[in-house]
Amino acid sequence: MVLENNPKSLEEYLKQREIGNSNPIGLFAFGTTQLIYSLYLIQIANITNHQVGLGSALFYGGIIQVLSGICGLFSGKTLSATIFCSYGGFWISFGFIYLPSSGIIDSFKNDQAMLRNAIGIYLTVWTIFTLLMLIASARTTILEISTLSFVLIVFIFLDLANFTGLNVFSRIAGYFG
């Protein structure tokens, strides 16, 4: 099929292509990364250093979700694409904050309260985004609604943990995650 300068035939070609559903891999990438982070939040096995989870955050929870979202765009699943690309970007950026070579955490070494507030503001923006995505997903599946509901609860408790400095809120977030 020749596609040069013929948008109609390109449109027909794209309609005929079978594109798989990218939602399962996107959900699994998000879920496994969230599970790892949640287990760290509840300090399972007395783990307080989260560095091992950065690989999952940056690559599986991050890049794989972004790719899943891009596939969703080609499938015409705008809401799923928005959710997966955005949360993939979240995991990449959140992981980068904690990546030692980024120097971000180290730049706050003399003011931990400022670090908590900065992360609190960052997470609050994601809390608002999650609320908007939850509202937008009202007519989707129970799986999407329940996932976003739990993510919203996690973000709310992480916001509280950062703004108050009380570790108990992080642990509660971990149990909901």
- The domain segmentation of the chain, as residue ranges, is 23-176
**Which residues contact residue 5 at a Cβ distance below 8 angstroms, ignoring those fewer than 6 apart?**
none
Determine the Cα angle at 167 with ends 27 and 104, to 5°: 70
Chain centre distance of CA 7: 35
Distance CA 145, CA 69 (A): 17
**Amino acid letter, residue 35:** L
User: What tens-digit pLDDT sequence spans the chain (177 residues)?
Assistant: 455 555 566 666 666 666 788 999 999 999 999 999 999 999 999 998 989 999 999 999 999 999 999 999 988 899 999 999 999 999 999 999 999 999 999 999 999 999 999 999 999 999 999 999 999 999 999 999 999 999 999 999 999 999 999 999 999 999 999
pTM above 0.75, yes or no: yes
